Amino acid sequence: MQRITIDILNSKALRLLQDLELLQLIRVRDTSPKQNTPVNWAAKYKGTMTKQPLTEIDKQLNQLRNEWE
């Protein structure tokens, strides 16, 4: 099976493609651009990090900063 992308310039061309699909010669898929939906980052990454005390986080950040100096 080969896959190609075409731009339809005329509604008659779409009708011809639909007829070819009815004959089971091709399969037409709608790949119109999807709208960018905002990502809910909190829900996506919820639970990926364990809860740590703030002092431990500060300690780790200072350690990382000191490694670069």
pLDDT tens, residue by residue, 27-69: 988 776 666 778 888 888 888 778 889 999 999 999 999 987 6
Residue 17: partners with Cβ closer than 8 Å, 6 or more residues away: 8, 26, 28
> Taking a C-beta distance cutoff of 8 angstroms, is the pair 15, 28 a contact?
no
Question: Is this prediction's pTM over 0.85?
Answer: no
Read off the tokens for 44.
């996506």
Going by C-alpha positions, the residue among 44, 59, 46, 2 that lies closest to residue 27 is 2
Mean pLDDT of 13-22: 93
pLDDT greater at residue 15 or residue 46: 15
| Cα 66 to Cα 10: distance, rounded to the nearest angstrom | 64
CA distances to 18, 48, 58 from 67, in Å: 63, 25, 14
